[in-house]
Amino acid sequence: MSIFSGMTVKAASENQKQFVFDQAMLLTDTERTELESLAVELGEETETALLVLTLDGTDGKDIKKYVEDYYDDEAPGYDQPFGNTAILAIDMEQRDIYLAGFKKAEDNLDNATLDYIREQITPALSEGDYFEAFSTFMHESAYYLVDDPANLENDYDYSGIADSRNEYIEGNSSNGMLGLLSHWGFQLIVSIVLAGIVVSIMVFQSGGKVTVNGNTYMDKRNSKIINRHDRFIRKTVTKQRKPQNNSGGGGGITGGGHSHSGSRGKF
């Protein structure tokens, strides 16, 4: 099957028709169909096109550049060209992974979130469990893309730190009605907690507080260290590779001028 020749969606179509582009032939037909329908279902709830690209080599391009060019050339999007899009691309030759978020997905799936999702799916990819990795990508992305994850209509078990991650994202999204609203809730909670702490301190201290400390009663002339030693025992040095520039801190601007968030790594 020729994948890219089938991409007549372009500007002509309002909606993304295909979501899984399995160039490297990693999926069975059933799996592909299942992922396609999952992408349609989650796409509607998140108003975002969730794309999966599997590649067998990238024509010598860096995978990040490849994904950027892909967005520029194919103009994917949920309801319009160059619209809300989250892309997972893996290259079997270099064993590279790249995740990118455009438009709404750039806000909700920032670099840190994409890093997190990438870490979630890397083990499955390494083991060759591609279907599992791709569906996890779609579910996890959807989780951060919707306003209220509780409304997601399926029984996927979202990973544990999602709540704290979600707050983090709320704190970071600075534009878009969605981000703003959830931002409010977050601010409200912070304000209420703060007020609660201050008022409790006020109530607690209304009966008078202790105003003496160790210095009040200490006889400073005679209170001192009489004898001391500090003996050096041993030294250990551990080293750790510096985080690579391209891993984690992804994102950037495509040749076509579209900014995006991103995360890259190996599997």
Does residue 233 interact with another protein by CB under 8 A? yes
Q: Which of 2, 5, 164, 227 binds another protein (CB under 8 A)?
A: 227
Is 125 within 8 Å of 267 (Cβ atoms)? yes
Subset of residues 112 to 171 that bind another protein, contact rule: CB under 8 A: none
**3-state secondary structure (DSSP) of residue 100:** strand
- Tell whether residue 195 is a contact of another protein (CB under 8 A): yes
CA 54/CA 148 separation, integer angstroms: 30
**Can you tell me whether residue 110 is helix, strand or coil?**
coil
Distance separating alpha carbons of residues 103 and 48, to the nearest angstrom: 9
**Residue indicated by tokens 């008022």:** 199
Residue 216 sits in the site that holds another protein (CB under 8 A): yes
| Site for another protein contains 196 (CB under 8 A) | yes
Residue 203 dihedral angles phi and psi, to the nearest 5°: -65, -45
Using an 8 Å Cβ cutoff, are 258 and 102 in contact? yes
Positions 35 through 74 that interact with another protein (CB under 8 A) = none
Q: Is 212 in the site for another protein (CB under 8 A)?
A: yes
Please say whether the dihedral angle defined by the alpha carbons of residues 182, 142, 83 and 57, taken in this order, is positive or negative.
Answer: positive
* 1, 150, 177, 202: residue in contact with another protein (rule CB under 8 A): 202
Spatial CA neighbour of 40 closest among 67, 19, 21:
19
* List 5, 8, 30, 240, residue binding another protein (CB under 8 A): 240
Which of these ranges, 12-20, 154-162, 196-204, 253-261, lies near another protein under the rule CB under 8 A? Answer: 196-204
* Member of 29, 30, 177, 224 binding another protein (CB under 8 A): 224
Position 181 contacts another protein (CB under 8 A): no
Of the candidate residues 175, 177, 245, 257, the single one contacting another protein (CB under 8 A): 175
Element (H, E) at 130: helix 130-145
Give the residue with the Cβ less far from another protein, 91 or 170. 170
In whole angstroms, the minimum distance from the beta carbon of 236 to another protein comes to: 5
Q: Is 211 in the site for another protein (CB under 8 A)?
A: yes
Looking at the Cβ atoms of 201 and 253, the one nearer to another protein is 201
Burial (Cβ within 10 Å: 0-12, 13-18, ≥19) of residue 163:
exposed
Task: In whole angstroms, give the CA distance from residue 84 to residue 104.
Answer: 5
Binding residues vs another protein (CB under 8 A) = 174-175, 183, 187-188, 190-192, 194-196, 198-199, 202-203, 206-214, 216-219, 222-242
